[in-house]
């Protein structure tokens, strides 16, 4: 599977401008790709202005994703603001070119930035398969909570869509690499660049790690780019068979 991470600046709270810009970036992908990963709140930036910016399920941004997936024959994913049953969610959505849809609501809301005062936390960890790769999604801050991401021999690729600040870039790389090694999986993480409407700087450094913690592809800091790399299920399964550490993992249950 070929993965492409979209590392771009975002217009603050301007959905249509962001969709147009991201579409232009996607069009620069020079070779066929299977999966396009967008940052957290890719249509607005990481905003708490949910009353103004939220969309209903199946609205404008979803239709844009559906059209892009069909046109490019790839899966596309990222999070944006959804309002459903009177509640706001930071919802990650995956759309396949065949129109299949999977959704994940961010579990760990960033309380230091008061995200929990606006949004409702998700309660479901999801796993789904796309082109023979089992995928587990995370959103940004979820990365800090390894129990939530723990591989139960049920996924191959951990995806993180993020608005991770430049001030904590060392933690970003350390945690992503740790998730890859401890879960014997691929990790693909798309982070934005630029300064948002809260004057927080983001440096990008989008990356794909392999199950040994090796770099497969990475974006340069503060540069708008498409970061692409290949992952191999054959290589992953061979590694897991030769070094079956997950057989010795502790069992646990998550309480809500």
Active site residues: 40, 106, 140
Closest CA to 74 of 94, 58, 91: 94
Burial of 52 (0-12, 13-18, 19+ CB in 10 A): exposed
Cα separations in angstroms, 210 against 31, 101, 162, 233: 21, 26, 19, 11
Q: How far apart are CA 61 and CA 65, in angstroms?
A: 6
Instruction: Write the CB contacts of 180 (distance below 8 Å, at least 6 apart in sequence).
Output: 158, 186, 187, 209, 210, 211, 212, 213
The arrangement of strands across the sheet holding 87-95 comes to 101-105, 87-95, 75-84, 35-37, 2-7, 225-230
The token duo for 118 is 């606006």
Residue 35's H or E segment, with its range, is strand 35-37
Instruction: Write the CB contacts of 246 (distance below 8 Å, at least 6 apart in sequence).
Output: 151, 153, 183, 184, 240
């Amino acid at each position: 599977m070929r993965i492409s991470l979209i590392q771009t600046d975002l217009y603050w709270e301007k959905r249509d401008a962001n969709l147009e810009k991201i579409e232009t970036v996607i069009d620069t992908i020079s070779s066929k790709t299977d999966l396009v990963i967008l940052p957290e709140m890719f249509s607005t930036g990481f905003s708490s202005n949910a009353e103004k910016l939220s969309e209903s399920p199946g609205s404008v941004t979803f239709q844009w994703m559906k059209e892009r997936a069909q046109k490019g024959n790839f899966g596309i994913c990222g999070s944006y603001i959804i309002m459903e049953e009177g509640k706001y969610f930071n919802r990650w959505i995956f759309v396949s070119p065949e129109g299949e849809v999977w959704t994940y609501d961010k579990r760990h809301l960033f309380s230091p930035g008061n995200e929990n005062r606006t949004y409702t936390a998700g309660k479901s960890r999801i796993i789904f398969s796309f082109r023979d790769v089992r995928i587990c999604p995370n959103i940004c801050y979820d990365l800090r909570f390894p129990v939530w991401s723990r591989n139960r021999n049920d996924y191959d690729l951990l995806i993180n869509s993020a608005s991770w600040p430049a001030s904590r870039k060392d933690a970003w790389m350390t945690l992503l690499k740790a998730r890859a090694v401890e879960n014997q999986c691929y990790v693909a993480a798309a982070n934005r660049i630029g300064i948002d409407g809260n004057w927080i700087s983001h440096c990008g450094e989008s990356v794909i790690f392999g199950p040994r913690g090796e770099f497969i592809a990475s974006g340069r800091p503060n540069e708008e780019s498409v970061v692409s790399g290949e992952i191999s299920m054959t290589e992953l399964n061979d590694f897991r068979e030769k070094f079956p550490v997950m057989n010795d993992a502790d069992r646990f249950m998550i309480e809500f």
